[in-house]
Amino acid sequence: QSNVTIYGRLNTSLESTKVQGSSRVTQLVNNNSRIGFRGNEDLGSGLAAIFQMESGFNSDAGGGTLAGRDTWVGLKGNLGTVKLGNITSPLYYATHDYISLHNHDTGNSSDMFLWVPAYDPENFRNRNSITYASPSFGGFVVEAHYSLVNEQGTETATRNDKPYHYSLTGTYDNGPLHVGFGFGETKKFYNFAGGDSKDNALILSALYDFKSVVVGGLWERNKSDNGGLEAQTGLTGSHTRNHYRVAVMVPFGANEVHLNYGVARDWSSTNDTGAKQLTLAYNYNLSKRTKVYALWTKVDNDKQKVSTDFGGAYDGGGAYSFLSGSAAGLDNTSFGVGLRHNF
Q: Which residues bind its own copies (CB under 8 A)?
A: 1, 3-8, 10-12, 14, 23, 25-28, 35, 37, 39, 41, 43, 47, 49, 51, 53, 55, 57-69, 71-75, 84-86, 125, 127-130, 148-151, 159-160, 286-287, 289-290, 292, 339, 341, 343
Closest C-alpha to 33, from 5, 6, 64: 64
Quote the radius of gyration of the chain (alpha carbons, Å): 20
Task: Determine the Cα–Cα distance for residues 189 and 321; give it in Å rounded to an integer.
Answer: 24
What are the backbone angles phi and psi of residue 269, rounded to the nearest 5°? 65, 15
Least Cβ distance, residue 340 to its own copies (angstroms): 8
Distance, C-alpha 159 to centroid of its chain: 29
Closest to its own copies by CB, 28 or 204 = 28
For residues 74-95, one letter each, b for 16 or more C-beta atoms within 10 angstroms of the residue's C-beta and e for the rest, the string is bebeeebbbbebbbbbbbbbbb
In this structure, are residues 189 and 178 in contact, taking their beta carbons and an 8 Å threshold? no
Least Cβ distance, residue 135 to its own copies (angstroms): 19
What are the backbone angles phi and psi of residue 93, rounded to the nearest 5°? -70, -30
Report the amino acid identity of residue 139: G
Closest to its own copies by CB, 25 or 79 = 25
CA-angle at 117, arms to 215 and 278, nearest 5°: 35
Strand partners for 205: 180, 218
Least Cβ distance, residue 342 to its own copies (angstroms): 9
Closest to its own copies by CB, 63 or 138 = 63
In this structure, are residues 115 and 201 in contact, taking their beta carbons and an 8 Å threshold? yes
Least Cβ distance, residue 47 to its own copies (angstroms): 7
Closest to its own copies by CB, 289 or 303 = 289
Closest to its own copies by CB, 53 or 179 = 53
Closest to its own copies by CB, 68 or 251 = 68
In this structure, are residues 205 and 217 in contact, taking their beta carbons and an 8 Å threshold? yes
Closest to its own copies by CB, 43 or 177 = 43
Least Cβ distance, residue 49 to its own copies (angstroms): 4
Least Cβ distance, residue 231 to its own copies (angstroms): 22
Least Cβ distance, residue 68 to its own copies (angstroms): 5
